[in-house]
Amino acid sequence: MLGGYADDLREAILRIKRPGAEHLARALAALLVDKQRSVLDALGIDAVVPVPMHWWRRACRGTSDAEEVARAMARALGVRVTAALVRSRATQMQNELPPEERGGNVAGAFRVRATVAGRRLLLVDDVVTTGATLAACCKALRDAEALVVHVAALAKADRLADAAGSGESR
């Protein structure tokens, strides 16, 4: 992670959620890779997997920041990015729900659409709050026999601040 979901980092992440900020997504990804280079290199990652948006939300938004960040991280790490996951049903925005309902909101919402068996994966999202989305994605990937799934995010939201409505996540 680059840091807490606050101040300038929060503003940058909110900007990459809109079309036209792909350059900023690439810059944030480069910062994350630079900051965590030794850890990431030691993981022996085979591929980078973005947390997917539902197709309808992606069409409405016009971009997927997790996809842009994952693509840039994969390039910097010299591995491929794979859209191994798909969000198989629309879910309510996680930041609209209290923390205790987020796990149920995304449970079973992801399915694997590419071979991941025996692979070391890096799952990438923009912000982690409760970890429910990442946990649901990891479960789907592990159920498909991924060897190991590591996670990376640009920022970590404060759960108390998020419960008050200041956090933003999928």
Residue ranges per structural domain of the chain: 3-163
DSSP state, 45?
-
User: What are 27-70's pLDDT values in tens digits?
Assistant: 999 999 999 999 999 999 999 999 999 999 999 999 999 999 99
Is the pLDDT score of 166 beyond 70?
no
> CATH assignment of 3-163?
3.40.50.2020
What six digits make up the tokens of 101?
Answer: 């309902």
pLDDT attached to residue 165: 42
User: What are 84-143's pLDDT values in tens digits?
Assistant: 999 999 999 898 899 999 999 999 999 999 999 999 999 999 999 999 999 999 999 999
Per the listing, tokens 């900020």 go with 21
